[in-house]
Amino acid sequence: MRSWRSESNRDQPRFDREVLPHLDSAYNLARWLAHSEHEANSILRDAWQSALENIDQLNANGRLWILTIVRNTAHAAMSSRSDDLSAIFFDDPDVFESTTTEASFMIAADQDMVANFITELPLQFREVIVLRELEHLSYSEIAEVVGVPMGTVMARLHRARQRLMQRLSDRVPEEHKLGL
């Protein structure tokens, strides 16, 4: 694997200072958008290389900048494939951390179910949910990363949340819905 560091890049200190701290967020987004851990690593490697080569284009927020590059790299990688992008599932069962108690086992099971529901969302909904709920970006920050108006972000988040709530509602036994 090629190193993300480049000895010949005079902007390496800037890259290390302004972009490198956001590696976890970049990987998290790549992982949620990709079909597999291998593909996420490939997306991240390509995005990281592109960011390093284009660090002179960074004007303000390094986090938003690298997340935008990761998103665009993921979309480019997935658009070249012919399979259905809405049916994406993780091959890694450790998406969420949990403790070993019985209660945390139930929480982990619920988290796994929610994670699976998120992966079933169409890509445009999945990316805004991940950026908002897991990366805690504001609506305007999401709009900048995704490249759409803030109203579109809000509409996509609303639709994504509706779909998730419907899927969760479908899983709840009828007696719980009725308060019995």
Q: At what angle do helices 139-146 and 150-171 cross, to 10 degrees?
A: 100
pLDDT at position 102: 52
- Given a cut of 60, whether residue 104 has pLDDT beyond it is no
Q: State how far the Cα of 156 lies from the Cα of 125, in Å rounded to an integer.
A: 6
Higher model confidence: residue 149 or residue 81?
149
| pLDDT-based confidence at residue 83 (cuts at 50, 70, 90) | very low
pLDDT at position 87: 35
Over residues 67-93, the mean pLDDT reads 65
pLDDT at position 109: 58
> What structural domains does the chain harbor?
12-177 (1.20.140.160)
Q: What is the pLDDT of residues 107-148, one digit of tens each?
A: 555 677 888 888 899 999 999 999 998 899 999 999 999 999
pLDDT at position 30: 92
Q: What is the pLDDT of residues 8-67, one digit of tens each?
A: 456 788 888 888 899 999 999 999 988 788 999 999 999 999 998 888 888 889 999 999
For 74, counting Cβ atoms within 10 Å of its Cβ (0-12 exposed, 13-18 middle, 19+ buried), the class is buried
What is the 8-class DSSP label of residue 131? Answer: I
Q: Give, in order, the Cα–Cα distances in Å from 102 to each of 33, 98, 109.
A: 31, 10, 11
pLDDT at position 98: 39
pLDDT at position 156: 96
**R_g (Cα) of the chain, nearest Å:** 18
Q: Among 2, 142, 7, 133, which residue's Cα sits nearest to residue 68?
A: 142
| pLDDT-based confidence at residue 179 (cuts at 50, 70, 90) | low
- Given a cut of 90, whether residue 176 has pLDDT beyond it is no
